[in-house]
Amino acid sequence: MTDDKLDLPDEDAREDEDYSLDRDLVHEVLDAVEAEDASRLDALLEPLHAADIADLLEQIGPGDRGELVRLWSSEIDGEILSELDEGVRAEVIAELPSDVLREAVRDLYTDDVVDLVEDLEEADQRTILDALEATDRVAVEQALSYPEYSAGRLMQRELVTAPEHWTVGQAIDFLRAQDELPEQFYHVILVDPRMKPVGYVTLGKVLSARRAVPLAEISEDSFRTIRVTQPDKDVAYAFNQYHLISAPVVDEDDRLVGVITIDDAMAVLDEEHEEDILRLAGVGDESSLSDTVIEATKGRALWLFVNLLTAILASVVIDLFSDTIQTLVALAVLMPIVASMGGNAGTQTMTVAVRALATRDLTAQNAWRVIRREVAVGAINGLAFGLLMSIIAGFWFGVPMLAVVIGAAMLMTLIAAALGGIVIPMALERLKIDPALASGPFVTTVTDVVGFFAFLGLASVVLL
């Protein structure tokens, strides 16, 4: 044994190790852009992954971004474009020379090309489509004919098939003889003579089985097909629920037309999560840091207006008890506490409910059990915090009955918040309205109105 120590990074260095862009690198890139030093810029960006370059383009301002693209346009490829946020992607494409853009999309899979062109103007779409080979162009145009947010838009045409009666040896010989195969694929799809998929075999089993073994004998139990018109969120749910790696896509006649892989399904799942978060916050489901001031303002103004209306409704309730408030000023001091606790409790329950509905964990079968649980949680928290607030209010204002009033109001408000937080998203889901989009204002209204009615109503009866 020796006294030599391993050269390990210290604790602070380990804490700083993550996947974010190095700030010094960003500054160096901007300096190179300002100096119009193309060789320095190439040396800085060439080692980076396409996703990191996309992050850098998204983080810098529009002016610097335009200068960088013009200076480094010949190195921007399709992989970088596919990683960009939609708004930034449109800006970058507008700056790229036509020949660079055409070259960038030629090596992309058809699903990536569809994702690239579906939100572009028609003229930009035509520029990209014209750059593709005839077979790829037809495949992309057909994909664009399917409904937006459907499996047809998500699938890729590059796949590997084999007749259902083949053996492992025949499949291996076939794969080795092909001049072009998809760069990445996970299954060999078994098809019948009518090109209907009947199963699939993982590459691992193809490589580990003996040559004489029929492919049908080692096919996966997880095999299932996806309709070309199936909503992409249902596709993502199926991948997550059944732990799929890839799945064949079929048309209305059950014939194979494409394949969806796990990376695309998880991208949809990530987008769904992001949309739910943005909708719950009332900022629009397509908001991003690349939005202009006008775009961001438009996305948020609608729900701010809805919140204004609900706030006016709560103020009307307060106005009903204006005489009570004037008689006992302490009520005005304590009202924000009741409203805040109710709002936070409602938001907690609503967030859990919206997420459970999105993952299909909350269904008609378990709805009553979940409602009872949430109401019980609200009641327990209401009792605990009502008691705590009663003690505080008693010492604060020296009015024993005021302490009783705020304790009882806290209990009723937190029960109403829990009930509204679970029932409102479920009702909206039943009405085919996105719970993530519309739950917030309704839950806030319920908690405010019930909270003010309970607190001020009890005060009017008990204290006056």
pLDDT grade, residue 298 (50/70/90)? confident
Angle at the Cα of 232 from the Cα atoms of 247 and 298, rounded to 5 degrees: 155
Which of these, 418, 411, 388, 403, lies nearest to 459 by C-alpha position? 403
Taking CB atoms within 8 Å and a gap of at least 24, the contacts of 369-378 are: 370/422, 371/419, 371/422, 371/423, 374/349, 374/418, 374/419, 374/421, 374/422, 375/415, 375/418, 375/419, 375/422, 377/349, 377/418, 378/345, 378/349, 378/414, 378/415, 378/416, 378/417, 378/418, 378/419
CB 245 within 8 A of CB 187: yes
Percent of the chain with pLDDT over 90: 43
3-state secondary structure of 188: strand
**Distance (Å, whole) CA 346 – CA 339:** 10
- The overall average pLDDT reported for the chain is 86
What is residue 439's predicted lDDT score, i.e. its pLDDT? 83
Dig out the tokens for 421 from the structure: 């937080």
**205-238 pLDDT, tens digit each:** 999 999 999 999 999 998 999 999 999 989 998 9
Tell me what the mean pLDDT of segment 107-123 comes to: 80
- Any idea which residue has 């109401």 for tokens? 375
Q: Letter for the amino acid at 163?
A: P
**33-43 pLDDT, tens digit each:** 999 999 999 99
Tell me what the mean pLDDT of segment 282-295 comes to: 62
pLDDT at 273 over 90: no
What is residue 8's predicted lDDT score, i.e. its pLDDT? 42
What is residue 1's predicted lDDT score, i.e. its pLDDT? 41
Which is more confidently placed, 121 or 245? 245
Task: Walk me through the domains of the chain, giving residue ranges and CATH numbers.
Answer: 20-145 (1.25.60.10), 161-263 (3.10.580.10), 293-462 (1.10.357.20)
149-163, 283-297, 433-447: least confidently modelled range? 283-297
**38-71 pLDDT, tens digit each:** 999 999 999 999 999 999 998 898 889 999 999 9
pLDDT grade, residue 5 (50/70/90)? very low
Question: Hey, how many other C-beta atoms are within 10 angstroms of the C-beta on 428?
Answer: 20
Tell me what the mean pLDDT of segment 429-450 comes to: 85
Percent of the chain with pLDDT over 70: 92
Tell me what the mean pLDDT of segment 102-127 comes to: 80
pLDDT grade, residue 132 (50/70/90)? confident
Order of strands, sheet of 226-227, starting from the edge strand that comes earlier in the sequence: 226-227, 246-250, 256-261
pLDDT at 250 over 60: yes
- Judged by phi (left if over 0) then psi (alpha if -120 to 50, else beta), residue 187 lies in beta
pLDDT at 14 over 80: no
Which is more confidently placed, 375 or 183? 375
pLDDT at 259 over 90: yes
Q: What is the DSSP letter of 132?
A: S
DSSP letters spanning 384-398: HHHHHHHHHHHHHH-
Tell me what the mean pLDDT of segment 188-193 comes to: 96
**Distance (Å, whole) CA 199 – CA 463:** 74
**Distance (Å, whole) CA 119 – CA 335:** 48
pLDDT grade, residue 283 (50/70/90)? low
99-103, 253-257, 276-280, 324-328: least confidently modelled range? 276-280
3-state secondary structure of 91: helix
CB 206 within 8 A of CB 172: yes
**387-438 pLDDT, tens digit each:** 999 999 999 988 889 999 999 999 999 999 999 999 999 999 998 888 877 7
3-state secondary structure of 261: strand
Residues 6+ apart with CB under 8 A from 109: 156, 158, 182
Beta-strand relationship, 226-227 and 246-250? parallel
In sign, the C-alpha dihedral spanning 331, 333, 337, 339 is positive
pLDDT at 357 over 80: yes
- Report the largest interatomic distance among the alpha carbons of the chain, rounded to a whole angstrom: 93
What is residue 198's predicted lDDT score, i.e. its pLDDT? 96
Q: How many helices (H) and strands (E) does the chain have?
A: 22, 6
